[in-house]
Amino acid sequence: QVQLVESGGGLVQAGGSLTLSCVPSGTIFSINVMAWHRQVPGKQRELVAAITSGSRTNYADSVKGRFTISRDNVKNTVYLQMSSLKPEDTGVYYCIANAGGINYWGKGTPVTVSS
């Protein structure tokens, strides 16, 4: 079973930056949408940013202007550049890829923003 592997999470002070990366553990053909979600304890998982194979992007209002999603279609890798981080950005960030109607998920990478 192919999974997605996230990396790049960690502890950062408010106002700082982090870049997350996500790559499949094996081959996934014809990935359409790749996205990042995050989950805060006690809250539902929410969409942070998404990008199509044609590089169309969509962002949650709370991260517009601060986060940038990008992808490498050759490597099937998706990135999330996060800047001007706020304590409310704290959570576990999950990568998801949709291909052929199947959603592939990663196990998540934690991000903690201290005030």
Amino acid letter for position 28: I
Cα–Cα distance between 53 and 43 in angstroms, integer?
29
- Cα distances from 64 to residues 25, 96, 99, in angstroms, run 29, 19, 26
- Please classify residue 55 by burial: count the beta carbons closer than 10 Å to its beta carbon, then call 0-12 exposed, 13-18 middle and 19+ buried: exposed
Give the CA count within 13 Å in the CB-facing half-sphere of 103. 8
Q: What is the pLDDT along the chain (115 residues), one digit of tens a residue?
A: 889 999 999 999 999 999 999 999 988 888 999 999 999 988 999 999 999 999 999 999 999 999 999 999 999 999 999 999 999 999 999 999 999 999 999 999 999 999 9
pLDDT of residue 110: 98
Rounded to the nearest 5 percent, the helix, strand and coil shares of the chain are 5, 55, 40
